[in-house]
Amino acid sequence: MISLNRFAGSVSALLKGLGVTLNYIVHPKRVVTREYPENRETLTFPERFRGQVVMPHDENNDHNCTACTLCEKACPNGSISILTTKNIASKRVLGQFVYRLSSCTLCNLCIEACPFDAIRMGHGFEMAGYTREELDLILNKKEGR
């Protein structure tokens, strides 16, 4: 008796799904599927979408990173490496901000740990590559600010 109820439920779910498909065939204007890659230019994402980590720069190519390494410590799997250098006044400054996209889980913990809003989650989603070296990114554009 129990297996008969389970079978009837499964058939009901199957017919419901086929009904949705048939409805899309009969009324093609109601289809809500995004036709990616054809609509790549008009594709929009919600503001809360999390892509790869980016470091915003202003018009002078400056950024807010002070090389405090809080984001590096907050990263659960070591996707971020902060390589520091010293400037003329023997003050520690950012040398390179290395971001390994291949091991990043897009968890947003590094963004929340940064007290200076130096990094944020971008909207990039086409992040495939053929080798791991292609996915190792240097986020700062100029060394030693």
Give the separation between CA 58 and CA 43, rounded to whole angstroms: 25
List, for residues 94-104, the tens digit of each pLDDT value: 999 999 999 99
CATH class of the domain defined by 53-138: alpha beta
pLDDT at 144 > cutoff 60: no
Intra-chain end-to-end CA distance of the chain, in Å: 74
The pLDDT score that the predictor gives to residue 143 is: 63
Torsion region of 38: left, alpha or beta (phi above 0 gives left; psi -120 to 50 gives alpha): alpha
So where are the chain's domains?
Answer: 1-43, 53-138
pTM, rounded to two decimals: 0.72
